[in-house]
Structure 1
Amino acid sequence: MRKIILAAAAGAAALTLAACSEGTQDAAGETVDSAAADAEANADAMGTAVEDAATDAGNAVEGATEEATAAADEAAAAAEAEVQDESTAEAQAD
């Protein structure tokens, strides 16, 4: 009689555990899907931020290069004007 009661209790515990396990599996699956969606959204946001930073850096380098080129041209024209005893405009025209 004790064995039958123990077997019945073990069976009931197994059924309870199985039912709980299915619900837990569903919840775990939803959690994984949610975490994957969050990770994807974060990766997209990070990618956009990196692209924007790269664009800004490229624009800054381009602007600095243009300014440096203009300053070098002006300095060269001023040096040529000094050496050839002419105006800066005449030196730039040469």
Structure 2
Amino acid sequence: MPATVREINGAELEQVISTGKVLVKFYSKTCGPCKMLKFVLNDVAKVVDDVEIVTIDFDENKDILEKYAVSSYPTMIVFKDGKEVERVKGLQQKPKIIQMLS
């Protein structure tokens, strides 16, 4: 089943990343590259399976940023069963994101 992209808040993050493979995008509503990345992630979601893709607003969830050492946006972190397996900062292209998830 194709993935979907959904918004969560910092309080939900622990539960979401606890099982399976999850891509978390930390973003800001005022960030140009973050807005472009939204379209890229929607495109990625159409071609990947067994991955959950979630986004967290940087400005509304500052408490979770420190816990995961997120200092800039956009930042994407891939978690597998609750453990961080990869992290990238900045706008990424579809092939790079798909490679991260494989």
Larger RCO, structures 1/2 (Cα 8 Å, 6+ apart):
2
TM tier relative to shorter chain: under 0.3
| Higher-Rg member (1/2) | 1
So what's the TM-score if we normalise by structure 2? Answer: 0.17
